[in-house]
Amino acid sequence: MLQLPFTFTLNQAAACIEESTPIVRRLSSLQGQFFDQAAYTATLAQGDPVLYQVYAVDRPAVVGELSSGLTILYPGRVGDEYFMTKGHFHAVLETGEVYYCLGGEGRMVMETPEGDWHVAEMRPGAVVYVPPRWAHRSVNVSNGEKLVFFWVYPAHAGHDYGAIERQGFRKLIVARDGAPAVIDNPRWLPPAQR
Ligand code: S6P
Ligand code: ZN
């Protein structure tokens, strides 16, 4: 069937896509992901803060289509660890993604199924290319600013959250002396030991 071109409005001042209703992710949906379990429980007990909102412009999950959208990741920490997204592999592993950072300061933590890892800086104007096979998680390391980024990926890619839910990413981003630092995740095991 013929697909018709269309336009949507990314409202940068309001940090939204006007035609889209956001998915809201709260702290409770990242159970087991923050390394300081006591801090996680304490933060949750004070309420269940919104960590991020995702405005998606979804397209049919077929080869050739592109889905895109805008994510707003709020500032905050659980203990020393900055607020972050769940993170995922694409279910079709051989699919990449492009992220364009519009506001704030962040890191994108990436890794392959074999355990290669990379941390990229996110700042306004930074375009991060996530190659096929790399899981990705965004982290807001700013001092009180929203991290805002636009993304585009193949609409048939799908999302695989399972591996990350089981043991997280190999690297964590934490505050050390007031600045973001990359540390090892003590729960992470190399593929041969899982
Ligand atoms: C989709 C893309 C983003 C994330 C969003 C939330 O492939 O990578 O839209 O979905 O930033 O992250 P997550 O890990 O909760 O889906
Ligand atoms: Zn993705």
Determine, yes or no, domain membership for 160.
yes
Q: Are 103 and 146 spatial neighbours (Cβ–Cβ below 8 Å)?
A: yes
In this structure, which residue's CA is closest to atom 7 in ligand 1?
153
- What CATH number is attached to the domain comprising 62? 2.60.120.10
Residue 90 alpha carbon, nearest atom of ligand 1: 7
Determine, yes or no, domain membership for 3.
no
pLDDT in tens, 80-114: 999 999 999 999 999 999 999 999 999 999 999 99
Reduced to 3 states (helix: H, G, I; strand: E, B; else coil), residue 14 is coil
Pocket lining: 86 vs ligand 1, CB cutoff 6 Å? yes
Query: What's the domain count of the chain?
Result: 1
Pocket lining: 156 vs ligand 1, CB cutoff 6 Å? no
Determine, yes or no, domain membership for 5.
no
- For residues 83 and 85, give the distance between their C-alpha atoms in angstroms, rounded to a whole number: 7
Q: Which of 30, 53, 159 to mutate to test the pocket of ligand 1 (most atoms within 8 A of CB)?
A: 159
pTM, full prediction: 0.98
pLDDT in tens, 115-131: 999 999 999 999 999 99
Residue 73 alpha carbon, nearest atom of ligand 1: 11
Determine, yes or no, domain membership for 163.
yes
Pocket lining: 170 vs ligand 1, CB cutoff 6 Å? no
Pair of tokens at residue 23: 């998915």
Domain that holds residue 73: 10-193
Q: Say what the pLDDT of residue 13 is.
A: 97
Determine, yes or no, domain membership for 60.
yes
The residue type found at 62 is V
